[in-house]
Structure 1
Amino acid sequence: MLRDETEGHLRSLAAEAGGAMNLPSASRSTAIMIIVAVGMLAPAVAQEVFRHTITGEDLKVLETSQPTGRDSEAVRTFLNTGVNPYTEVKLHLSKGEETFLSACSGCHGHFGEGKIGPGLNDAYWTYPKNKTDKGLFETIFGGAQGMMGPHQDLPLDEILAVMAWVRHLYTGPIEEAEWLTAEQKTVFKQFAQDKQPCAGGAHQRADAGSGEAKSENTSC
C-alpha cells in the first residue's frame, strides 16, 4: 500500500514536471530524479512477446513464472529487449553452471556436448531460433518436443544465468555466435573440455585468435 501511494505521488510530481527540459537546471535535475525514481519502483513489464517454440502460443511469462527473481535489473532488461545481460559476465557464470549441472546436464551432457538430448555447445541448433537469447529462453521456459519439458520451475534470473553458461560452453565458429556483441566476439574464447571424465575442473578454452589451449578452472 505504501509503495502504491509513494509511486502515485512520484508519478504526479513527474507529470507536473512534464516540461522539465524548459526548467532551470536545478529544477530540471529534480524532475529527472523523480522520473528515474518512478522507473525504479515500476515492476518488471514484458515488452517482448515470448512464444512457445513449437506451438507459437504466448508463454505469458510474467503470469506463469516463479515470483522470485522477476524484478532483478537483468530480468527487466531481458523482458524489454530479449537480450541476456548476463552473457559472458563472469560473476553469473558459476550460478549458471550450478543450475545447468543439476537441471540440464542429465540430458545435454556436462559440457553441453549432448547425451539423450541434443548438444548445446556447437553451431548446430535443433531450433535455429535458439541462436538468439529470446529464442533460447523460449525453448527453456516453455519446453519443446520429445523429453524437453518446460522449466517454469526455475526463477527467471536463474534461467538467464543458465543461458549465459550454455553460451560460455560454445565451441563453434565465433562469427556464428549471434548472441555475442561485436565487442564480445573479439575476446570470446571457445570452450574446450578436457577429454578425461569430469573430476572437478580440468577444462581448457582455446584462444579465438591463436587456437592455443589455455587452462581454466571450472567446477563440475
Structure 2
Amino acid sequence: MSRLISSAVSRILVALILFSLTGCSGTTAVAVAEPPIMRNNITGEPLEFSGLNETETPAVKQFKATGKNPYNTDREAIAKGGAVYLTACSACHGHHAEGKIAPALIDDYWTYPMNTTDIGLFSSTYAGLQGMMGPSKGRLTQDEILQLMAWIRSNYKGDPAKAEWNH
C-alpha cells in the first residue's frame, strides 16, 4: 500500500514539475512577430540606416516593423510619391513608369523578382541595384521612398493576383 501511495505521489510530483516547466502560469502567451530584416538585394547584407540625416516617420517605423507599406492606399502619400517619381525616376523608367532605358515598373515583369514585395522594392530603391540604379540612400528620405513605392503600386497594370504587396 505504501508503495502504491509512493508511486502516486511520484507521478503527481512529476506532473507538477512538468506543468511548471512548460510555463503554464495561467496567462496566455502571445506570439510576437519579428520585424523583417531588410537586405541589400545584390550583396545580401542587412541595410544600413545609421548616419541618415532624417527623422523616421510613423509610416517608416510601421514599415520596418511589418514589411508592409502603410502608404499603398493613402491618396495624399501616392500624390507625393508621384512628384518624387518625376524628379528621381522618370528619366530612366519613363514618365508613366512604362519603361525607357530602365524597365517598366507597372506590369507583371520584374527584373528583380524580389521587387514584387514591399521589402524588396524598398531595398532596391534604398540600396540600388548592380550599378544600373544607384542607391537613393541620402538622396531620398525613407518616407519619400515609401511614398514613391505607393505611387508605383497605384499605377500597376498587371494581374491583381500577382500583386504580392496586396496580400
Could you tell me which of 119, 122, 139 is aligned with 1:134? 119
CA contact (8 A) 1:96 1:158 kept: yes
Give the letter for the 2:84 counterpart: T
**How far 1:74 moved relative to its partner?**
0.7
- Matched residue pairs, number? 133
**How far 1:68 moved relative to its partner?**
2.0
Paired with 1:53 and 1:161, the residues of 2 have a C-alpha distance of: 20
Greater per-residue strand proportion:
1
Paired with 1:157 and 1:69, the residues of 2 have a C-alpha distance of: 9
Higher relative contact order (CA 8 A, sep 6+): 2
Matched residue, 2:41: 53
Could you tell me which of 168, 175, 180 is aligned with 2:166? 180
CA contact (8 A) 1:69 1:157 kept: no
3-state secondary structure, aligned to 1:170:
coil
Matched residue, 2:23: none
Alignment of 1:62-73 (within 5 A): 63-64=50-51, 66-70=52-56, 72-73=57-58
Paired with 1:105 and 1:88, the residues of 2 have a C-alpha distance of: 22
Answer with 97-106 or 50-59: which moved more: 50-59
Paired with 1:157 and 1:129, the residues of 2 have a C-alpha distance of: 20
Aligned-pair identity (%): 47
**How far 1:69 moved relative to its partner?**
4.2
TM-score (normalised: structure 2)? 0.75
Paired with 2:68 and 2:55, the residues of 1 have a C-alpha distance of: 17
CA deviations 1:180-215 (Å, max 9, x no partner) are 14xxxxxxxxxxxxxxxxxxxxxxxxxxxxxxxxxx
CA contact (8 A) 1:69 1:158 kept: no
Could you tell me which of 150, 155, 158 is aligned with 2:135? 150
Give the letter for the 1:54 counterpart: I
- After TM superposition, which residue ranges in structure 1, 4 or more long, deviate above 4 angstroms? none
Give the letter for the 2:76 counterpart: L
Could you tell me which of 102, 116, 121 is aligned with 2:101? 116
TM-score (normalised: structure 1)? 0.58
Give the letter for the 1:160 counterpart: L
Paired with 1:69 and 1:109, the residues of 2 have a C-alpha distance of: 30
Give the letter for the 2:38 counterpart: F
Q: Mind listing any 5+ residue stretches in structure 2 that lack a counterpart?
A: 1-33
Distance of aligned partners of 1:49 and 1:118 in 2 relative to their CA distance in 1, 3 Å threshold: same
